Each structure stands twice: as structure tokens, then as C-alpha cells.
Amino acid sequence: MPHSWRSEIQYTENGMWVGNAFRFATEDEAQTYASMMAIRHPMIYGIRVQESQLPANYRLDNEGRLLPIE
């Protein structure tokens, strides 16, 4: 069972998937974050969500703001 979910973005059609240090408690939060990134960066070819064994360290509030988990 995963401890968290992370978003990954593909910047080129045949390129590698790139992630960051943000880990979310739910798959839905990670998917929402990836979708928000795709809107801000129109040159993105793909988004995906992957399981992570690291603990969740960020969450999205009701307005879509990224907040650290303390």
C-alpha cells in the first residue's frame, strides 16, 4: 500500500517523465495538481500519477493552493 502519490509530467512527446518533491495523501490530489501544472505549462505532452513509498508532505486546500503538511 502506498504512503503517498506523486505527479509526473512529460515535457516532450518521447521524453522522460519528470516529478518533484511534492507527495500527496490521495491519488485525486496528485491528479489535480498535475492537471493544474498542465494548464500553466501548455507545452506538456502528458501527465500521470504514481504511487510513492515516501510520506505525504503537501496537500491542496479547497481553493487549489499547495500547502505543506506539518
Q: What is the pLDDT of residue 1?
A: 59
Q: Which domain holds residue 38?
A: 4-68
Regions in the chain scoring below 50 on pLDDT: none
Q: What is the pLDDT of residue 49?
A: 97
pTM of model > 0.85? yes
C-alpha cell at 16: 522522460
Q: What is the pLDDT of residue 2?
A: 63
Q: How many CA atoms lie within 13 A of 62 on its CB side?
A: 0
* Total domains, the chain: 1
Q: What is the pLDDT of residue 14?
A: 80
Q: What is the pLDDT of residue 42?
A: 77
